[in-house]
A = this chain, B = another copy of it.
Amino acid sequence: MSTFGQLFRVTTYGESHCRSVGCIIDGCPPGMELEEKDIQPQMTRRRPGQSAITTPRNEKDRVAIQSGTENGRTLGSPICMIVQNEDQRPKDYGNQTMDMFPRPSHADYTYQEKYGIRASSGGGRASARETIGRVAAGAVAEKYLKLAYGIEITAFVTSVGNLHMFPPTPECPTPSQNPEFLKLLETINRETVDKFLPVRCPNEEASEKMADLIAEYKEREDSIGGTVTCVIKNVPSGLGEPCFDKIEAMLAHAMLSIPATKGFEVGSGFGGCEVPGSIHNDPFIRSAETAAPESGAARNGIPRPKLTTKTNNSGGIQGGITNGAPIYFRVAFKPPATIGQAQTTATYDGDKEGILAAKGRHDPCVVPRAVPIVEAMSALVVIDALLQQMGRHEAVRQLPSNNKSMQPSDNGVSMIQ
C-alpha cells in the first residue's frame, strides 16, 4: 500500500506526469512549529537538476501545506502537503516503441502485469517523483525528533561502483571494526556532506574519483550503482517493537521500499558474519552521554541511558530494540535501469524482439539524490517507534506499582533504573 507507519502514518500519492504529488501525514504531534521553510531544504536536496550528474528534469518542487497547521503550528490533524508537477514532458516517453516494449529492469512490464494498465509515459507510480511525499513527510518527522530528543540523521554516499570509502579487507571484513569509520559516524552532519557535492561522499579523494566515475558512465549512456550509509544519533533506548517490528526490520522495510534498492545491512552487517562472537559482542560500559542540549528531553531533565557499548557492531540495536548508541546502516542502490544505450528486449506479449533506446531524462547514478530519501525514511521509522514507546512509557508511569524496583523513573521513554 501507499501508507507507512502506525502512529505517524504517511500516505503518499502521485505519478511522474499527473497534476501533483504529495502526501498526508496523520498523527503528527500537535503544537509543533511547522512551516513550509522547514520542509523545503530536504525537497531541494532531493530535487532533480541539481548538477551535471543528475537528471536534467527541472522541477522547483515547492511544497505547499494544505491543512493541519494554523498560525505556524501543527494542530494534530492530518497534514496534507502538495508539490505541483511542472516540467512534465510526456512526449519524451510516450513514443510508439516504448508503448510496445517494456524497458528492461524497469517497472513497465510488472505494472502492466499487476494492474492490467500502466501510465503511458514516464515511470508512473514507479518514478522517483513518488519519493517527494516521503521526503516532505520525513522533514516533518525530523523536525519533531530534533526538537524533542536532539536526534540527528545523516546519510552519505559510501560507494559508487567498485569505489568504496571503507573497502572490506580480510582482517576487517566490515567497516564496523574500522576506527576511522566509527569516528566519522560521530562527527558527520549534513553541512559536511553537502560540502562534497555533487556526490555527497564526505572524503575529498573518494568523492572526486566517484564523480569522475559517474561522469564516465553518463558519457557512455550507461549507469552505475552505489551505496548510502546513514547514521542516527541521540536515539533514546527502548525503541523498536518485538518481534516482527524490530527497529532494524522497520528500517529494512523502509529502505527496500525506496526505488532501485537491492540491499540493507545494519551494524556489522554482512561482514559481521565473519567476525567471531567473542569479538563481535559489544561489552557494556557506563555511558558518559548526556541528553542532547536544547532538546525538549534535556529541558525536561530526561537522562540518557546509563549504559552504552564499548564497540558498536550491533549498530545501536539489540534484540530489535535500540540501546541508545548510534544506529547505522548501509543501503545498496542498483545502476538505474533507464539508460541511453540501445538494448534488446521483447514486446509485452513476447511475440517480437526489438531494440529499445530510452529517451527521457534520468540519472546515471542515483546515490547522491538518494541521500535525503534515506534520511526521510529513517525519520519515519524512528518517529513511529518513538511514539509507540512513548505511549508505553506513559502507560507504565500510571501503574501504581508496589514493587519499587519496577517503578520506572520518569526518564523519557526508557524504563530501567
Contacts and interface: CB of A to CB of B under 8 A. Distances in A.
A115 B248 contact: no
Nearest to A217: B276
Contact of A253 (B120, B249, B280): B249
A14 B66 contact: yes
Contact of A20 (B66, B111, B332): B66
A188 interface: no
A319 B104 CA distance: 11
Contacts of A320: 107, 110, 126, 257, 259
Interface in A221-259: 222-227, 237-246, 248-257, 259
Contact of A249 (B257, B274, B284): B257
B243 A125 contact: yes
Given A67-B20, A77-B13, A406 B278 contact: no
Interface stretch (A49-57, A189-197, A201-209, A299-307): A299-307
Contacts of A294: 400
A392 interface: yes
B252 A255 contact: yes
A37 interface: no
Nearest to A302: B398
Given A130-B243, A320-B107, A391-B7, A350 B280 contact: no
A77 B107 contact: no
A223 to B, nearest CB: 3
Given A6-B6, A77-B124, A273 B159 contact: yes
A156 interface: no
Interface stretch (A40-48, A178-186, A260-268): A260-268
Q: How many copies does the complex hold?
A: 4
Contacts of A58: none
Contacts of A14: 66-67, 78, 80
Nearest to A28: B395
Interface string A148-183: 110000000001011000000010010000000000
A146 B415 CA distance: 22
A368 interface: no
A178 to B, nearest CB: 16
Contacts of A318: 105-107, 109-110, 337
A386 B11 CA distance: 22
Given A243-B257, A339-B277, A391-B394, A282 B31 contact: no
15 contacts: A22-B66, A70-B119, A74-B117, A75-B115, A77-B242, A109-B307, A116-B415, A223-B276, A226-B273, A227-B270, A243-B257, A245-B257, A262-B269, A265-B265, A294-B400
